[in-house]
A and B are shown apart, each in its own frame.
Chain A
Amino acid sequence: MSREIIIMIIGMAVVTYIPRMLPFVMFRGKELPPFLQGVLKNVPFATLGALIFPAILFIQEDIWYGLIGAAAAFIVAFLGANVILVVIGSISVLTLYSYFF
C-alpha cells in the first residue's frame, strides 16, 4: 500500500465523518426554535426528492431505463408493498425491459 494513498484515505475519512457527527454533539438536548425544527423535519422528504431526481434519469445511457424503473417502483410502492418488494419489483421490470429491448 502506498503512503500517499493511505494519507488520502484518512483525510477523506476525517472530512466525511465530521459533518456526520457534529450535529449530534452540537444540538444534543437543545431545544431549537420551532421554525428550525419544522425545517429539519421537512429535510428527509426534500432530500429524497433531490436524491431521486434528476439522477435516476442517468443510471444508464438510455433515459427510458431510469424512467421505467422509477415508474415500476412508484406503482409497487403505491399499492402498499414494503420497500424490499419495491426494490425487487423495479429490478425485475428492468431485467425484462433490457431482455426485450
Chain B
Amino acid sequence: MESTLAVKQATDFKKGIQSGISIAIGYMPIALTFGLIAKTTGLALGETVMMSMLVFAGAAQYISLSLLAQGIGIFEVILTTFIVNIRHFLMSASLNEKAEEDTVGARIAYSFGITDETFSVAATQAGTVNAGYMFGLNLTAYSSWVVFSGLGYLVGAGLPQTLQESMSVALYAMFVGLLVPSMKTNVKVIYLAVLAAAFNSIFTMAEWMSTGWAIVLATLLSAVLVETVETFKKSRRTEADE
C-alpha cells in the first residue's frame, strides 16, 4: 500500500514538472530582466540571487528595486511587499480545498512555491493535486526563476531586443491558455473572469488602491457575486420543485 502511494507521488512529481515547463519559459525573460535591473540598481550578485531564492515573487521583487532606487527605507519596502503579496492568501485558501490530505510538513514546504503562475496551473488541473505534483511544479518554476535571475545579472540584455519584447507576453498567454478550456465547457467561468477583469480595470484606472489590493478585491467581489447568484438560483429551483 505504502509503495503504491510512493509510486503515485513519483508519477505526479513528473506530471508537475511537465506542467511547470510553460511557467519556466514564461519566467525566463522576467527573471533575466530582474537580474539586469538589480545590477543597475546597485545590488550585488549574491543579493540578487538571494532575493530570488528567498522571496520568489516577481512583482514584489521588481517593486522593491524601484523603491530602493528612489532611496526608500527597508521598512517601507517590506510593508509594500506584504501588500503586493497578500493575494497569495486567497490563492492558498482556494488551493487548500483542492489539495489532497498530505502531511502538514509537506504542505508547509510546498506552500512556499505558490505564485500567481503555479497557483493558476495547479488550480486548473482536473481533480485533486497532491504534494508530489506541487513539488514538481514549484521546483520547475523556482529553478527557472533563480537561475535566470542570476544569468540576467551576469549577461544582461543578451537576448535580441525583438525576442525580449515578444516574450513579455509569455505569462499572459499562459493565463489565457489556462482559462479558455474551462470557458468553453462552463459559462460560469466566463462570468467569473470577465467580472474580475472589469472590477480590476475600474480599480486600476481610478487609482483607488495599489495593484495588489485591486487584484484581491476584484477576485473576491467576482467570486462572491457569482456564488451568491448561483445560490439564489439554486434555492429558487428547489422551491419550484416542491
Contact = CB atoms under 8 A, between A and B. Distances in A.
A binds B: yes
Interface stretch (B5-13, B145-153, B193-201): B193-201
A50 B199 contact: yes
Kindly state the interface size class of chain B when it binds its partner: 35 or more
A44 B54 contact: no
Nearest to B191: A45
Looking at chain A's contact residues, the main secondary structure is helix
Interface in B179-205: 179-182, 184, 188-189, 192-197, 199-201, 204-205
Contact of B192 (A16, A49, A52, A59): A49
B162 A95 contact: yes
Pick from B74, B170, B175 the residue with the most CB of A within 10 Å.
Answer: B175
A76 to B, nearest CB: 8
Interface string A1-44: 11011111111110111011111110111001001011111111
Given A41-B94, A53-B200, A98-B165, A86 B176 contact: yes
Contacts, number: 288
A42 B108 contact: no
Given A10-B54, A15-B78, A95-B166, A24 B222 contact: no
Contacts of A13: 54-55
A25 to B, nearest CB: 7
Residue among A9, A48, A69, A92 with the highest chain B CB neighbour number at 10 A = A48
B196 A47 contact: yes
Given A16-B85, A24-B108, A43 B179 contact: no
24 contacts: A7-B74, A22-B92, A24-B111, A45-B182, A45-B192, A46-B192, A46-B222, A47-B87, A47-B91, A48-B196, A49-B179, A49-B192, A49-B218, A50-B200, A53-B201, A54-B204, A60-B165, A70-B169, A70-B172, A80-B181, A83-B121, A83-B178, A86-B173, A97-B166
